[in-house]
Structure 1
Amino acid sequence: MSQTLHPMLNIAIKAARAAGSIINRASLDLELLKINHKGPNDFVTEVDQAAEQVIIDTLLQAYPGHGILAEESGRSQGAKDSEFVWIIDPLDGTTNFIHGFPVYAVSIALAHRGVVQQAVVYDPSRNDLFYASKGRGAFLNDKRLRVSRRTRLSDALIGTGFPFRRGDNFKRYIKMFEEIMQSCAGVRRPGAAALDLCYVAAGYYDGFFETGLNPWDIAAGSLMITEAGGLIGNFTGESDYLYQREVVAGNAKVYAQLVQILAPYTRVIKADEAAAEAASAGAEATPEQALAASLGLDAAAEPAAPAAPKRGPVRIRKQD
C-alpha cells in the first residue's frame, strides 16, 4: 500500500488478515468443521469464534481502553464506557463458508461516539482488502474506489440479501423484491452484506437494499460507500440506519430512486418487529394482526404513502 494509513486502520488490517488466515486454513477441510445453530438457518462455527478472538486480541493489545461490539461475543470484552468501539463481524457469510461457496469476509469498523471512522472488509478467498478512513477515501488494495455513474434505476444492477431467520416476513420481502426487480436491470444476492456494500463502493453494484441486518454487518461497508461518493441510509432516506435493521445504499441517483420504492415498507417492518416482540413475550396477536402479518401488512396503520426523505445521510468530504 503506497499511501500512509491511519495507525488505527493499520491495526484493523492486521487483525483482519490474521482472521483471514484462520478462515483460509479452515476452508481447506470443511468436513472437520464443528457447526452450531444459533437459530434456524443461522449458523456459527468454531472458525467464527477463533477469528473473532484473534481480532479482539489484536485490537485490545494495541488499544486496551477501547470498547468491543462483536457478533459472537457481544460487548463482553473490551472497555464498557469507551467513546471508541470496534464493531466486528469475524466471518460475514458463514452459510456460504460452510458450503464452500467462496463469498464471505471479515468486517471490522471503528466508531467514535457512534460515527464510523475506520473500516476494513477483507475477502480472504480472493485476498481482496477494502479499507477506508473517514475523509481520506475508500480503497480496494491500492485502487481508489468510486461509486458507479449510472443515473437510471432501469439500467442499474442492485444487490440484496434474502430474509432467512424464523420470524422474518417473507411475503413482505417478496413484494419489495418484485417491485425493485421489475424496475432495474438485474438483482444479485451473493450472501455477505459486508462485501455487498463494498461492491456498491466499487461500482460493481449501482445500489443495495436489505432488512434484518445488524450493526456488525454494515458498519465497515457504510464508510466505504460514503468515502466512495455514495449514500447510505434507512428506507426513508435518513441517516440512522446502523441499528434500524433496514438499509439502502447506492450512488446518489439510484439511491434516491430506491428510497422512493422502499419508503412505504418501513412502517410494516417496524410493525412486524413489534409483533414478534409481543409474541416472544407471550402476548397473543389479534385476528386482525395475524391476518395482516400473513399478508405482510401493518394492521394498525393506514397504507403508507412514499415518504420524502426528511434528511439525507451526510456525504463525507472526498479527497483525491
Structure 2
Amino acid sequence: MSDYHQLKMYSFLHQSICWSFPFDTICFSYEELPAKMHDSLWLISLEPYEKKQANSAYSLSIAIIENKVLTQGFVYDNLSNNFYYAEKGRGAFLNGQPLCRDELMRLREAEIRMDSSFLRREQPLNPSYQRVRMAELPTALEICTVAEGNTDIFMTMNQTPYEFAAASLIAKEAGVEVMTLEGQELRWNKASSVWCGVV
C-alpha cells in the first residue's frame, strides 16, 4: 500500500469516526499518545505487509479505551478478509464465531513465531528449531493467530500500543496469556515487548 493510499485511508477513517463519535479522541499510529487521557480514546493503526501474489495486504487495528480501560479491540486482515473483535468481559470473535483457547501445552510441542531479532538466519533450518518460525505478519495479526489457534506462542520486542493494544484484548478474551517478555502486565499506553501464548 502506497503512502498516498495509506493517508487516504486514515483520512476516511478519521472522518467516519468523528462523524459518528464527535467527542472521542482519535489517534493514529504516526501520532504520539496524548498526555492527558480523555473519556474515550481510539488508537488506530494501518499496517501494510508483504505476501506473495498480493499487491496491497494490510491489517487495520483499532483499540478503544474508555476511562483509561481498554474496552474493545478490532483487527481486520484485508488479505484473508478475517475480522477479529473483542469486548472486555464479553469474549473474542473471528468473523462472528467465538474464539476460545482453553488448552495448555508443553513448550516442546508449541508452534512458536518470533520477531526476527530473536533468530539467526540459520536457525529455522536447524531441526532443533523446527517448531520455531520467523514472524511474517504485522504484530496485531501475529497475536490474533495465537488467539485463533494457528500459533501457540508469539514473541516480539519494541512494539507500540498502536501495534498490540487491540489484538492483546482479543487474545486475552480468547483465553491466551498476554504479558511482556519480563513477565509483567502488558499496558496499552506504553511501548513494550510482547509475549502471548498457551504454554
**TM-score, normalised relative to structure 2:** 0.84
Q: Kindly indicate whether residue 9 of structure 2 is the aligned counterpart of residue 55 of structure 1.
A: no
Native 8 Å contact 2:61 2:162 kept in 1: yes
CA shift, 1:240, in A, is 3.5
Ranked by relative contact order (alpha carbons within 8 Å, sequence separation 6 or more), the top structure is 2
**Distance change in 2, residues 1:235/1:182 (3 Å):** farther
Equivalent position of 2:4 in the other structure: 46
Q: Does the 8 Å CA contact 1:134/1:227 hold for their aligned counterparts?
A: yes
Q: Spell out, residue by residue over 1:88-110, the C-alpha distance to the aligned partner (whole angstroms, 9 max, x if none).
A: 102x2x24279936753110110
Cα contact 1:97–1:104 (8 A) shared by 2: no
User: How far apart, in 2, do the equivalents of 1:215 and 1:182 lie?
Assistant: 33
- Alpha-carbon separation, structure 1, partners of 2:19 and 2:51: 28
Return the alpha-carbon distance in structure 1 between the equivalents of residues 147 and 15 of structure 2. 29
Q: Is the 8 A contact 1:67 1:75 kept in 2?
A: no
Query: Does the C-alpha gap of structure 1 residues 200 and 101 become closer, same or farther in structure 2, counting only changes over 3 Å?
Result: farther
- Choose the corresponding residue for 1:227, options 140, 148, 173: 173
Q: Give the corresponding residue for 2:86.
A: 132
- Higher strand proportion, which one? 2
User: What corresponds to 1:86 in structure 2?
Assistant: 42
Gaps of 5+ in 2: none
Q: Would you say 1:217 and 2:191 are equivalent positions?
A: no
Q: In the TM superposition, what are the counterparts of 1:70-219 in structure 2 within 5 Å?
A: 70-74=28-32, 81-90=37-46, 92=47, 94-96=48-50, 100=54, 104-147=58-101, 149-163=103-117, 173-174=118-119, 182=128, 185-219=131-165
Aligned length: 193
Deviations 1:257-308 (A, max 9, x none): xxxxxxxxxxxxxxxxxxxxxxxxxxxxxxxxxxxxxxxxxxxxxxxxxxxx
1:128, 1:210 → 2: CA distance?
A: 22
Superposition RMSD on alpha carbons, in Å? 2.8
Q: What is the CA distance between 1:237 and its match in structure 2?
A: 1.4
Distance 2:13 2:148 in 1: 25
Task: Give the secondary structure class of the aligned counterpart of 1:68.
Answer: strand
Point out the structure with max Rg over C-alpha. Answer: 1
Amino acid at match of 1:217: E
- The offset of 1:217, in angstroms, is 0.5
The answer (yes or no) to whether the contact 1:156–1:206 under 8 Å persists in 2 is yes
Instruction: Please give the residue correspondences for 1:252-271 in structure 2 after superposition, counting only pairs within 5 Å.
Output: 254=199
Runs of 4+ displaced beyond 6 Å: none
Q: Percent identity at matched positions?
A: 26
In 2 relative to 1, CA 192–148 (structure 1 residues): closer, same or farther, beyond 3 Å? farther
| TM score, norm. by length of structure 1 | 0.54
* Unaligned stretches of 5+ residues in structure 1: 1-25, 27-32, 34-44, 164-172, 255-320
Are 1:247 and 2:187 counterparts? Answer: no
Partner SS for 2:54: coil
CA distance in 1, matches of 2:13, 2:33: 14
- Opposite residue 196 of structure 2, the aligned amino acid is A
SS of the counterpart of 1:52? helix
Aligned residue for 1:200, secondary structure, equals helix
